[in-house]
Chains A and B, each alone.
Chain A
Amino acid sequence: MKTKKIIGRTLYHILVFGFAIVMVYPLLWMVFSSFKPTNTIFTTAQELLPRTWTLDNYHNGWKGFANVGFGRFFLNSLVISLLATLGTLASSSIVAYGFARLRFKGRGLLFSAMLVTMMLPAQVLMIPQYIWYQKLGWVGNYLPLIVPYWFATQGFFVYLITNFIGGIPKDLDEAAKIDGCSTYGIFFWIILPLIVPALITGGIFSFIWRWDDFLSALLYVSKTESYPVSLALKLFSDPSSSSDYGAMFAMSTLSILPVVLIFITLQRYLVEGIATSGLKG
């Protein structure tokens, strides 16, 4: 009986571990390939580890293209992602407070509108928004990539924070009100400090999504020196501009590094965010 149990358990771990390796293999392959001499990447594709380790790919890739280095692209991505994330968190939390705590005319209608924005991905609005931003004179700069996020346009974050505020006891609000705190004071002094975990979760998601965003950069950013990493990587990988696979994989690896680091250090918040937002119908 006992040996049967041990065999079963070993089998379980071999299978689950084996499958886990299959899952992350493509990524491992890319990371290790970026340390191989570029001309050996596909001749030794069946070997995971490089025979000789080199940093040449990173050195070559970092130079970028059209006289703009990858450092610049990373800086652009960082600025866009941080500004958009900050806007999302600031606007979504005050809107969520309104939905969760205050009764007012049109609340039900607005809340439904918010749920609709959750179900409407950016792609279906791609052409309508482009035409509109063109009229506003926003095409060709960062405004379409940042400004909309300061207006709580992503229902996901409003929904996430509204749920979180719903879980905070109202006694605190009442006590503050008796002490003379205004409706806005309650938000700033009572609610805001308590929703920090939700803000971290939301911040992580927002940052990752903005960092990976390719479509809006493709539509709205035109100058090479303004490219974010996603767009730069795409053009870098086009056959016309480069067939240096080593440099390509090196820069690809660097581009996912921030996301992977966030994933490793803040995994707990990510998991919580997914669990709470994906369950409700």
Chain B
Amino acid sequence: MAQLAARKPKKTFREKINEEHIAGMICTAPFTIGFLMFMIVPMLISGYYAFCDFNILQPATFTGLNNLRMMFADAKFWKSLTVTLYFAFVSVPLRLVFALIVALILLKTTKITAFYRAAYYLPSIIGGSVAVAILWKRMFAIDGTINVLLRAVGIESRLAWLGRTDTAIWTLIILAVWQFGSSMLIFLSALKQIPTTLYEAGEIDGANGWKRFFRITLPLLTPTIFFNLVMQMINGFLAFTQCYIITQGKPMNSTLFYTVYMYQQSFEYYKAGYGAALAWVMLLIIGIFTALLFATKRFWVYEE
């Protein structure tokens, strides 16, 4: 210690980095650097390439708005956009409704509720894995588990679930809804935070079960519902792995997710400039969509 005290300039340095406003910047420096290095810089670079003809390996040539023009004329782009929006708008609300219903049912604590919760939660823990995607592909095959089980209970089914344009997307939607467990847990803990005094007051005022749900429970859950709706819609727009492994966009592009199309363009056809433009357009769509959702917030989300 005495040695350190003797060296005066070093001590002032130590004092300086210990000051709150300097220390704050030092502590958060990893994030600042990471945010610039791994988010902002890549976005800016790709922002430039979005206006270029670029195949990753050779230098880019600036082509102005050509990529955007190509996009508007590209039927596959529109197809993938509609498929993705359809997937997100169907699967996310379905998953949230399921999660809420099951959360309400499991709110009543019995001795084996913990087991039930675990069983319902397990799929959302492993649902994103390649293993489950492979399993799903086999389950919905013509000779797969679903058809065999349907026949076992007397329903004659030889449907090629993954081979028909009207059913293939539903295999992906079912897989997404199957993973309602984590939303269910979020609802469960939100439900537990509702003060019982509110329900007691409602009871005194003569509100029955349904009325209590729609007048007390649901309004108090709206902030949770809103937050999860925003996050899950964004994730729904950007689903990749399951589509990439299970359907590859087939049949006839009826399950072609936007991100998979983006991947194909960039890494299978080597049109990285076009891919970068696609990524930016998706970012804009997400931004606009999120802003719209926030604009509706004051009409239906309860604020304390």
Contact = CB atoms under 8 A, between A and B. Distances in A.
- Do chains A and B interact in one complex? yes
Contacts of A110: 28, 31-32, 35
Interface of B is mostly: helix
Interface in A244-281: 245, 248-249, 252-253, 255-256, 259-260, 263, 267, 270-271, 274-275, 278-281
Contacts of B30: 91, 94-95, 150-152
Contacts of A150: 30, 34
A102 B24 contact: yes
Bin the interface of chain A by size.
Answer: 35 or more
A233 B116 contact: no
A130 interface: yes
Given A103-B21, A126-B259, A152-B30, A281 B286 contact: no
Contact of B35 (A45, A117, A124, A260): A117
Contacts of A153: 31, 34-35, 38-39
A115 to B, nearest CB: 11
Interface in A14-32: 16-17, 20-21, 23-24, 26-27, 29-30
A77 B183 CA distance: 28
Contacts of B239: 123
A55 interface: no
A23 B119 contact: yes
B24 A260 contact: no
Contact of B56 (A113, A126, A128, A131): A131
B157 interface: no
Nearest to B153: A46
Contact of A131 (B26, B182, B272): B272
Given A91-B30, A256-B131, A278 B227 contact: yes
Interface in B71-85: none
B18 interface: yes
Contacts of B230: 119
Interface string B180-199: 00110110111001000000
Given A256-B126, A259-B125, A279 B39 contact: no
Interface string B224-254: 1011101100110011110011000000000
A46 B275 contact: no
A160 to B, nearest CB: 14
A281 B224 CA distance: 7
Contact of B227 (A94, A114, A219, A279): A279
B34 A151 contact: yes
B134 A125 contact: no
A127 to B, nearest CB: 4
B182 A278 contact: yes
Nearest to A99: B28
A138 B122 CA distance: 35
A105 B131 contact: no
A66 B25 CA distance: 49
B161 interface: no
B34 A249 contact: no
B173 to A, nearest CB: 15
Interface of B: 14, 18, 20-28, 30-35, 37-39, 41-43, 45-46, 49, 56, 105-106, 108, 110, 112, 115-116, 118-123, 125-126, 128-132, 134-139, 143-145, 148-149, 151-152, 178, 182-183, 185-186, 188-190, 193, 223-224, 226-228, 230-231, 234-235, 238-241, 244-245, 259, 262-263, 266-267, 272, 275-276, 278-279, 282-283, 286, 290, 301
5 contacts: A20-B116, A126-B259, A151-B37, A230-B129, A260-B125
Query: 9 smallest A-B Cβ distances: which pairs?
Result: A151-B34, A104-B24, A98-B27, A102-B24, A128-B46, A275-B189, A252-B131, A278-B186, A128-B42
Given A132-B38, A212-B126, 4 more contacts: A27-B123, A212-B129, A245-B138, A275-B186
